[in-house]
Structures are given as structure tokens and as C-alpha cells.
Amino acid sequence: MKNEKKVHTINTTILLASASPRRQELLARMGLSFTVCPADLDESLWDDLPPDALVEHLSRAKGETVAATAPAGTLVIAADTVVVLDGQILGKPRDQREAAYMLSCLSDRTHEVYTGLSVRRDKLVYTTHQITSVRFRNLSEVDIARYVKTGEPMDKAGAYGIQGYGAMLVSAISGDYFNVMGLPVCRLGQILSAHFGLDPLVLAAEGEAAP
């Protein structure tokens, strides 16, 4: 029988304003019970903002959208992640050709991953962002073609996923690894503890330890 991670239940209802499987996985790893409630938002309306302002604005807007129909006292966690190279934002590729082009641009270079994080409960809102630098190894055309063929790049900003096959493209990282996955776990834990009276470590210590 496989070991299953136990999720500690708390009295506060938590909504995750994201459909991202990576964010769901990371939030579950923190031992929190939550419901997925993606925000319906046109993100293209704010494309002219710089990366730091963009991810903060979008994460805050996502949280606000979900909170608008949530019961009072609900804790809403929202995030938005972009990949930035030379000040230019690389979104999700529209097709395999664009994915290959993005990867060729990232090859043998360092880029930044920005994640905006917004946590709210009623009128209390805390929004911030985290930056992680990622260095790619030198990628040949064959490397890129093979990676694109896996299909992994197609639904990810910057056309790669560090938690999957994309890990084999990364030669160095400076900052929070989980930030590149889409959720700065350490920062989120600090925010929950300092501003919302919810410390995941306390919950884990008081509950049954997960294997």
C-alpha cells in the first residue's frame, strides 16, 4: 500500500484561485485543505505593465474575483507567474514552433521567473512577488526538438516546466525553486503565519506527521 500524505484540516475555508496542477500540488504539500476555484480573468488587459507590477496586479485581481462570491471569512490564495528574458515577458507558446523559438532564446542564458502572490480574507489583503533566476544549459536544435515533442512546453510560461523533463535543461538556479513551479512556498508560509494567524508548521506539528 502506498503512503499517502495526510492533509490537516483547519476551521478556515481556503480557496485556491488557480487551476494549475503545480500550485495545487505545492499547497497540498504544505498540509492545507483547500478547494480549487479558478478565476475567470482576461490577463491580456495589463500586458503593458512591467513584470513585477503585472504579476502582483494579476494575482490580486484573481483573488479579488474569487473572493467576490465567497462566504465571509474565506481565505483566498492567488498567484500569477511569468518568465522574463531581457525585460520581455515570455508567455505560454501558441504552437510548437513558438515553443522551439522560446527555448532557443533561453538556451545558454539566464532568465528570471516572477511570481505574484496575493492572500486575502475579507478586507485583509497581502500582495507581494518573488523573483528566481534560472540558467539554461546550451541547447542544440535536437535537444529543443525532442523536448517540444514531449508536449510539456505547451501549457507553460516560457515553454518549460522545471518540475518535469525541463529540469534537464536547467544548469543553475538562484532563489526559490518552488517559485519557478508557480508558488513561492516559503514566502506563502510566512505570509499565512505573520498576517493571517495560520502557521502550516504548527498545524503539521499538532497533527499526525505525514510520512
Positions marked catalytic: 80
How big is the chain, counted in residues?
211
* Residue-wise DSSP of 139-180: --HHHHHHHHHTSGGGGSGGG--TTTGGGGGEEEEES-HHHH
Residue type, 111: H
Q: Show the cell assigned to 11.
A: 476551521
Residue type, 50: P
**CA 64, 94, 148, 160 torsion-angle sign:** negative
Judged by DSSP in three states, 77 sits in strand
Residue type, 130: Q
Which residues fall within 8 angstroms of residue 129, CB to CB, at 6 or more apart? 52, 55, 56, 59, 114, 115, 116, 117
Residue appearing with cell numbers 493571517: 196
Hey, which residues does 120 pair with through a beta bridge? 76, 125
How far, in Å, CA of 163 to CA of 171, rounded? 14
